[in-house]
A and B are shown apart, each in its own frame.
Chain A
Amino acid sequence: MAKRNKKVPDVNSSSMADIAFLLLIFFLVTSSMDTDSGLARRLPPPPQDEDQLTEMKVQKRNLLTVLVNSLDQTMVGDEHYDNLRQLQGKTGKQSLKDKVKEFVINANNSENLPELFEEDFGPPIGTLRVTKDHVVSLQNDNTTSYKAYLSVQNELVKAYNELREEAAVRYFNKPYEELLKDEKDLINKVYPQRISEAEPKSYGGKK
């Protein structure tokens, strides 16, 4: 009689499910956390004869050529940068970013900066004079290092991002990040990112 009441008590396994759930959620979260990030670009479609013809028609004043040579030096117009610090304007030289911004805005309607066109963007921006035909052409040598190339690209993108940020604050009183999608599109239309990654050429002697 007494023997029947003395059962071995079960281990309480009701928390096992919770532990497993915890692990499950941990894996669900961590597996998607490792997202890749990078500079998004759009390549031009493969060259066709007509395309190359229109390429030729870009006027000289609408074109800003950025050259990166085999020693990772950068040349823009008559300015020339030896390293990243100079590129970012930390040594007193006008930075590449400011140069690009000046080129894209052309505030003083200067002769050798891109043509200004009056365009109506609708409310709340209204009519603006923009350089819609400008092109920033990035050219590199065969032996340019990827690192230098990307840091120049980064500076170019930064110039556009700052312009957009300024426009967002001016017209919408909000940082660009907080704008709605069509507001962002409007700003992007004012300052379209026109960076052209040139067809490969070889500069600077050694191959």
Chain B
Amino acid sequence: MGKFNKSGSREMPALNTSSLPDMIFAILFFFMVTTTMREVELMVKFKVPTASEIQKLEKKSLVTYIYMGQPVDPKFGTGTFMQLNDKFAEVEDIHDYIAQERNMLSESDQQYMTVSLKVDNDTQMRYVTEVKQALRRAYALKISYSARKEDNQ
């Protein structure tokens, strides 16, 4: 009896939570860093067209981006450039790029890989057609023409 009564008189020591914020901050920083890691620095300017029948691309990890437009840096001129990852590329590079991106996905996800074409409004179709042909040869058949939701309609 007496043995158990002893503890009743003592107060339960509070759990030290002073390190909890530090832990949460660590998680926070982890997320802050990882979410910006996949973003590429854009070297081309583009304004995607508007459309009303757009669909959202669900899984971000399955999407590969191809950017086309005028270079941001004026020293490259005003032609149409294509950007894959962090550098300008030629149409011939698409095949390797797609293969490399596809290899990063797990085998079951590879069939769902989508290529999102972020192309500027004023790009001439011949560039887009070339890219499309290259994608066909690389067997990246699921594509999405990136577009914004139309405001008025």
Q: Is the CB of B128 within 8 A of A36?
A: no
Number of B residues with CB within 8 Å of any CB on chain A: 54
What's the minimum C-beta distance from A92 to chain B, rounded to whole angstroms? 19
Instruction: Identify which of residues 5-45 in chain A touch chain B, using a CB-to-CB cut-off of 8 Å.
Output: 13-14, 16-17, 19-21, 23-24, 27-28, 31-32, 35-45
A144 to B49, CA, bound (A): 14
Asked if B78 is an interface residue, CB under 8 A from chain A, the answer is no
A144 to B121, CA, bound (A): 11
Q: Across the interface, which residues of A come within 8 angstroms of B44, CB to CB?
A: none
A24 to B148, CA, bound (A): 29
Asked if A141 is an interface residue, CB under 8 A from chain B, the answer is yes
* Interface residues as binary, B119-145 with A (CB distance below 8 Å gives 1, 0 otherwise): 111111110110011011101111111
Q: Across the interface, which residues of A come within 8 angstroms of B88, CB to CB?
A: none
Which of A55-63, A118-126, A151-159 faces chain B? A151-159
Q: Is the CB of B17 within 8 A of A14?
A: yes
Q: Is the CB of A43 within 8 A of B141?
A: yes
Asked if A131 is an interface residue, CB under 8 A from chain B, the answer is no
Q: Is the CB of B17 within 8 A of A17?
A: yes
Asked if A197 is an interface residue, CB under 8 A from chain B, the answer is yes
A45 to B146, CA, bound (A): 21
A24-B24 contact given A41-B145, A147-B122, CB 8 Å threshold: yes
Q: Across the interface, which residues of B come within 8 angstroms of A74, CB to CB?
A: none
Asked if B18 is an interface residue, CB under 8 A from chain A, the answer is yes
Asked if B103 is an interface residue, CB under 8 A from chain A, the answer is no
A157 to B136, CA, bound (A): 21
Instruction: Identify which of residues 125-159 in chain A touch chain B, using a CB-to-CB cut-off of 8 Å.
Output: 140-147, 149-151, 153-154, 157-158
Q: Across the interface, which residues of B come within 8 angstroms of A36, CB to CB?
A: 56-57, 60, 63, 65, 116, 118, 144, 146
Chain B interface residues toward A at CB < 8 A: 17-18, 20-21, 24-25, 27-28, 31-32, 35, 48-49, 51-58, 60, 63, 65, 114, 116-126, 128-129, 132-133, 135-137, 139-149
Q: Write 21 A-B pairs (CB below 8 A) sorted by A numbering.
A: A13-B18, A17-B21, A24-B24, A32-B60, A35-B56, A36-B118, A38-B116, A38-B145, A38-B147, A39-B147, A40-B142, A41-B144, A43-B141, A142-B124, A145-B121, A147-B49, A147-B121, A149-B125, A150-B49, A150-B147, A154-B51
Task: Beyond A36-B56, A150-B49, A157-B53, list 16 extra A-B contacts (CB 8 Å).
Answer: A16-B21, A17-B21, A20-B28, A21-B24, A36-B144, A36-B146, A37-B146, A37-B147, A37-B148, A38-B117, A39-B51, A40-B144, A43-B143, A145-B121, A146-B123, A147-B49
Chain A interface residues toward B at CB < 8 A: 13-14, 16-17, 19-21, 23-24, 27-28, 31-32, 35-46, 140-147, 149-151, 153-154, 157-158, 161, 197, 200
